[in-house]
Every structure is written in C-alpha cells, then in structure tokens.
Structure 1
Amino acid sequence: MREIREIKIVEMDQYCEIAFHSYPSFKDFSDKGKKGFIHEMLFIRKHDPDIKFYGMFEGKKLIAQMRLLIFEMNFLNATIRVGGLGSLAVHLLYKKQGIAREMIDFCEKYFLDQKIPLVALLPFSPPFYYNKGYGYGTKMNRYIVQTSVLPRYAGENTCDFATKKDLSKLKKAHSEMMAQTHGMAEKMSYEWENNFSDPENLFIKSIDQQGETDGYAIFKFKSTHPDNYTKIQILVRELIYTNREVLSKLIGFFANQGDQAQTIEIKTYEEDFHYLFSNPLSCSENATDYGYFETNTQYIGNMYKILDLPLMLKHVEHRKYNNQNICFTLTLIESSRNQTYNIVIKDGDIGIEQTKKTFGLRIALTLSDFSSVFVGATTFRRLYDAGRLECSDMNKLMSLDAAFVVERGPVCWSDY
C-alpha cells in the first residue's frame, strides 16, 4: 500500500539516500557529507516553517520525495503567495511507474487546498514539466567577459565587505529590490545560511549616504587554468541593487580587481545588460554567420503553472491589465481535458462571463504557454508566430497583447 505523507525527522536518512542518488553531481558521498546534508535539511525544517518535506511510502520504505514551499513573491508590484515544488526525486528502483506524476498531482492539490493557484519550480527535465502544464519563465543571461571591459566607478568608493553580522542589512536591501522586481521572492532562511556557510563566498555591500546598505554582491574567485595559478575568474553568484548608482558602485568594485582576475562571470535577467560593457564580446570568442559575435549564453530555469484560472484572477485582483477593454474566449489545452472561459476586460478589470456563447475573438493554446503569458514571460503574438496559438481574429490579437504585456518578465533568484 502506497501513501504520500509528510516525512518524519527519523526518516531523513532515507530522504538523504534518494537525494544523493538522484542529484549525484552536487553531493559529497562521504559519511561527513551525508551528515552535513541531513543537518542542512534539519535546519530548513526548523527555520523555514513554510517548507514541508513530503514523500511517497510503500509501507515504511520511502520511494519518492519532494519539498513543498510557499514563497512571498512580487507579482506586478504586490506581494502574493506562490507555491513552490523542489527536489522531486524517485528511488532508483521505482522509476518509470508514474510516481513523479502522482507526486506532482499531490503537490498541486496541496496548494489549491490553501487557495494558492500559482506554482513555480526549477525543472530537472523541462519537457516533462512542460507536458504537465508548466510554462517557461524568463531566460537567464550568462556573461563571461574580460574584467578590463567593466566600467570604473567615478564617485566615492562606499563599498565594504559584509559578514553574517550584516544579515539584517543585506535582507533589507534584498527586500527593497524584491519590492520593485516582478517575480522576485523573499529569500528563505536556508538560502542565507547556505551562502554564509560556503567558505569561498565573499560579500561586498554598497552603502548609501545615510549609512544604509542599498545593495550587495556575493562572489568568489575561481581558477581557470590547471597549470597557471595566476589565471583567475570572478564568479558573481548574486547581484542585488536598487538603482543604477548602486549597480555602478558594485560593478566598479569588480573592475578594480582586474589586476587579480582577468575575467568575470555575471548572471542577469536583463536583456540589455551588454550595454554596460565597453566591449560586450564573450571570452569564448565564438562567432556565427553574418559577422555576429557571441556576447552571452541563455538558460531556461523557473517554470510556472496556473492551477485554477478563476482563483488566479482573484489572487491578483490588483492587476489592471494596462486599463484595456477587450473580450475573448480562451481555450486552455491540457493533456487530459480542455477548459474554455469567456473573459471580459473592462477598463482594466477582469472577469469570467458565465455563458455558453463565444466571443468574436477566440484563442486556443496550452495551459503551459498561457501560464508563461500570464506571468509576463512571453506574449500571445510571439506564441502565434511560433505556431503555438490558434486565433480567430488576428486584427484583435495585438489588442489582447496590450492587456497582458508586462515591462519585464519575472525575475527569480531563489534556489529551491
């Protein structure tokens, strides 16, 4: 008999075994490494009560596991609760039995029971989750450039190193960036703990005229050549800033390290980040046809799923759909069933009309793709051009996009 229930503390050793064999690239398999991992999980249980450990049991044997968490996330300038699915893994001897799908179904019911209609996850296999209704979020850009191309900061240097004693100041800066960044979530306690527990991590903070911390960066140095210890790269793990002045100061700090580190790696969601550099070309020196040179590489990460559209519309009642006026019939295509809604947007207020008739504008797309549109990661028109959307009236599709478009797609720096 199989059941899904919360994992007890005395069962964490079984949780550890599945986690280590499911994600072996990131694990230390020594006894010390396993004890350290269990200690980390126990820290999460104690300090992050919104994170729950669930597993599927066959009798007393744990055969699958996952972490379910609740984010406080900025959704278009208002904080909402969002569900999160993390560390889903199945025992090596129980693969290909549909267990992962059962765990996901449990996860979605878990959040719907708490009136949370939006779930986010970091996928181990993006196509698997896409087929389960999860849409792709904003792509992340990874830049590796010469340190010498970073702009120097012309003002007074007000950066300083930070330690764990500065945690409250760092949290405040993070919260201020979250408040102005769509998709960003408050950090969990374990995320801060993991950053401070890594002995290679360095924290640099920016200090404003009032002595407050208004931004910070977490970074480390790494060797880039096995036979030359002087070849060094700066790896920026996190870059938090509330305005361009703060960004300039932090980037200026890294520019000053050019005598020690020849290159720097920075990850960002900003599409135009390459304008920051005097020379945006990647250290890879790759080029392609028509004389184009590589500046950065892009990555798919966070995925989102709307579990219940009527509940989702209530969940984000503050959203005003750019004050548009449009009516349309929406059909969401899922593997098991299709759902159709007649949606009316009037002066930015949205509602579902309870009628069997259809409107003149009718669109049909997968729940996965609609979830991406709704959170602002893409647009209806882009999906139409990609052949992912059917539309009855192309003349009205641009008006529909005007209602749902956001200035910038969701940004998420949470590691869960």
Structure 2
Amino acid sequence: MGEIKKIPTVDIMNMVEIVNNAYPAFPFNTEEEKKKIHEKLMKNQEENDFVNFYGYYEDGEMRGSMRLHDYTMNMLSNEVKVGGIGLVAVDLLHKKKKIAKRMLEFYLDHYKKRGTNLVMLYPFRPDFYKKMGFGFGTKMEQYKLLPKEFPNRGSKDHIVYVTNEDKQRLHTCYEQFVRQHHGMLYKTPFELDSIFNKPENKIIAFKKDGKIEGYVIFTFKRANESNFGINDIHVHEFVYLHSEALGELLTFFHSQADQINRIVINTQDEHFHFLFDDARNGTDVMIPPVYHETNIAGVGIMYRVIDVEGIFLDLQNHTFGKETCTVKFTIEDTFFPSNNQETVVHFANGKPTVHRDHDEFDVELKMDISYFSSLLMGSMTFDKLVTYGLADISDQRYTSTINQLFLTNKKPICMSLF
C-alpha cells in the first residue's frame, strides 16, 4: 500500500513527466516546454497557499499526482468554501492499480477534515466520476456566430482596452458578477495575474465613470491555416453587470464583421440564442423535423456533497422557497462511507434547521449522492429525478413541495478552470 503526501519541490519534474504521459495533448513535449511548465508549477506551489500538489508514492517512487484547489463559491447567495481537484494523473506503468481511486478518496477526506462540505471537478470521463458520487452541473454550450448576427445596439462609446493598470477594476467587476450568479468561484490572485500575463489575451471592457462594469477576454485564432486573413475570435470570459454593458459589448462584436470569420463563445446561459436573429453555427445541420443546429453542448463541471448535514449548516441562512415541512434525507454514498447517512432537516418557510432526532419527519427522500448534489446545486429538479426513477419519495403528495424547496432562479455557472 502506498502513501499520499504533499509533493516536495524536488519531485515536481516527476509530476510533469507523469502528467505529460497521462495527457499527451498537453503542449509540453520538448525539454524546453517541460522546463517552462516545471517553473510554472514550482511558482504555483511556492507562492499560493490555495493550490497544493499531492503525489501517490510506492517504494519511494511517485506513481500518481493531483492538484488541489481551495475556492470560495457563491452558492445560493452564500459564500461557501469548496474544494477543487485537477491534473489527476497516474504513471503509465502503474495504471489499473486503483491509484486514482485512492487519490480521490484522499481528496474527499482532505476537505472533509477541513470542514469543507462541497467539492467539484472537471471530469476526464464523466462516468468514472459519476460512480464516485459526483453529479452533473449545467451543460456548456458552444456557439460559433457570424459577427453580423450580433445585435448592433448603436453605441460602443464606453468600450476601452484593459491594461494592467485596470487589474483591480476588472477584479472588482468580476467579484460583483460572482455575487450575482450562483455557482461562480471567486478568483485567486494567481488566476487574476494569469489573465494579464498571457500576451495573446485581448481584453476590452465597458468602462463608465472610472468603473469597469463588463468585459471580454478573447484571443484570435486562424479559421483557415492556409489563409492568415481568415480569423476567428475565441471568447474566454464574458462578464457584464447590466444590459447597457452587454449592449455595448455586443455592438463591439458586431463591428468586427469586416475582419472576423466567426466568434466562438462558450456559455452556460440556456437563453443565449434569444440575442440573435440567426444563431446557426454554419454546419447547416437540420434536426428532424425542422430544427436548425445552433450550437454544440457538453457535460463538464461536476459537484459532490461530502457532508450532507454540513452543507445544510453552510446554507442555514438560505431560504429554500417558502415551504414548511420536515424532510428525512436518506442518501446513498458507497464511495465515501462517512457520508452514507440519514439527515433530518426542518424547513420553516424555507429556512433549514438540522434535527438530531431522525424519527420525526413528514416525508423521506432516498437517492444517490450524485443526484442529491445536482439537486442541491439546482442543475436538476426533484420532479424530474422522481419521473426518471432516480429518487424515491415516501409520500407522493410532497413531490411538489420538495420540488419548490430546491428550485433555483438560476442554474449554477462556473468560469474557473482548474
């Protein structure tokens, strides 16, 4: 049996090799590229308390590695500590030894001990992490739009370039956006600096009265490798605090029609297509009977509650609708047994209180931890879980009540990559 420990500085290059073999598409195959990523990871480890690298060791040799991230999320208008994980990799010679499973167990236990009750990740394979209790978040939709299809709202008088001098203004804007949107993560100083440290990034903003109230981070990419004159804009971050800022940013995109082929935007806004008269993506695919392809979509970000009682304590100031009832949650969590428990919560006009007495309740809900996590985050509704046979309820008369408890005005969104 191996051990998992924080990776010492001398072993960071070993981590680079393991990650490089696990993810061949990552751009660090040459010695020079490996040196650069090594320096970046070293800097990350040494200067950021909120990012930590851990390795799985056997016989003194690193067999696997992962990166843990400490974040704060706006969860239903409450600031909640969450844990992220990335760069999960196992040495090619030591796969199928359950090393990844042990690292994930360590990850959950690590945050449980810190009093963090929710974790999240981007899955390299959704089914792998679904079996470990992670539930799906909001889908990501990718649009490839002609610039002329962006509405021209008549003005872009407040659109300016953003420079390093505007870093704090941009950060203030982003944090206001976080407070407006459930699921968003606050940026770490490292993430903020990274925006300005990438020379390929172009940043424009809506700036009024000295304040940034919306911005776009994008890069140019050739649409045709044989023709340098045909380029796309790839949008990496699109933030706006109100419709005036949105309108001028849309007008900016509209004005690029003479030079830009298409504008590629990834968004979790399910209503995004309403902005355009023609949101088709150029494939000319027709979905029967007569539906025009506008975008492609995929599952990505996944959430996991690691302490059911703890997460309700985190959300004790949140109002779950206006319902009053006492609910027994019987959650199945076979991967993380300490969370395989019964929890009774009394909702008084939506305000939750955890009860120690498990014998008195109005209705009992039974479901897997993955579905409970999606339900709590608002990416899935309770009535659909029941309809799909993914949740059981002891008294069908309470189905609507439970559905109202967990309905959210907005599905969770996440712009952070980790």
* Greater displacement, 378-387 / 339-348: 339-348
Equivalent residue, structure 1, for 2:266: 267
The alpha carbon displacement at 1:393 in A equals 2.7
Tell me which amino acid in the other structure corresponds to 2:123: P
SS at match of 1:262: strand
Pick closer, same or farther for the CA change 1:161–1:21 going to 2, 3 Å: same
**Contact kept in structure 1, 2:312 and 2:354, CA below 8 Å:** no
- How far did 1:331 drift? 1.8
- Once the two structures are overlaid, the 10-residue window that deviates more, 37-46 or 113-122, is 37-46
Q: Which amino acid aligns with 1:15?
A: M
How many percent identity over aligned positions? 29
Alignment of 1:69-84 (within 5 A): 69-84=69-84
Q: Is the 8 A contact 2:158 2:207 kept in 1?
A: yes
Distance 1:292 1:34 in 2: 46
Deviates more, 1:62-71 or 1:379-388: 379-388
Query: In the alignment, what sits opposite 1:50?
Result: 50
Three-state SS of the structure 1 residue aligned to 2:317 is coil
Runs ≥4 residues deviating over 6 A: none
Q: Which residue of 1 aligns with 2:399?
A: 397
Contact 1:131 1:335 in 2 (8 A): no
Q: Unaligned 5+ residue runs, structure 2? A: none
Structure 1: gaps spanning 5 or more residues? none
Query: How far 1:156 sits from its partner (Å)?
Result: 4.8
Question: Aligned pair 1:306/2:308, yes or no?
Answer: no
- Is the contact made by 1:241 and 1:247 (CA closer than 8 Å) also made in structure 2? yes
Residue 409 of structure 1 and its aligned partner are, at CA, apart by 1.4
1:378 to 374, 377, 380: 380
SS at match of 2:384: helix
Q: Which residue of 1 aligns with 2:201?
A: 201
SS at match of 1:16: helix
- Quote the residue 1:368 is aligned against: 370
Give 1:299-338 correspondences, 5 Å limit: 299-335=298-334, 338=340
Q: Report Cα offsets for 1:286-329 as digits up to 9, x if no partner.
A: 11111111111212111111111111111122211123112233
- Provide the rounded CA distance (Å) in 2 between the counterparts of 1:189 and 1:32: 27
How far has the Cα of 1:115 moved from its partner?
A: 0.6
Looking at structure 1, the residues matched to 259 and 185 of structure 2 have their Cα atoms a distance apart, in angstroms, of 34
* In structure 2, distance between residues paired with 1:333 and 1:27: 40
Aligned-partner Cα distance in 1 for 2:386–2:68: 34
Tell me the residue number matched to 2:113: 113
Q: For residue 224 of structure 1, what is the aligned residue in structure 2?
A: 223
- Structure 1 residues 95 and 151: CA distance shift in structure 2, 3 A: same
1:284, 1:156 → 2: CA distance?
31
Deviation at 1:263, TM superposition (A): 1.1
Aligned AA (1:47): E
| Counterpart check, 1:279 vs 2:281 | no
Amino acid of the residue matched to residue 54 of structure 2?
Y
Q: Corresponding residue for 1:11?
A: 11
Counterpart of 1:255, as a letter, is H
**CA–CA distance in 2 between the matches of 1:227 and 1:29?**
25
Letter aligned with residue 155 of structure 2: G
Distance between the aligned counterparts of 1:123 and 1:194, measured in 2? 23
Cα shift at 1:151: 0.7
Length-normalised TM-score, structure 1:
0.95
- SS in structure 2 of the partner of residue 55 of structure 1: strand
Match of 1:291 in 2: 290
- 1: CA distance between counterparts of 2:43 and 2:167? 17
The Cα of 1:358 is off from its aligned counterpart by: 6.3
Partner SS, residue 214 of structure 1: strand
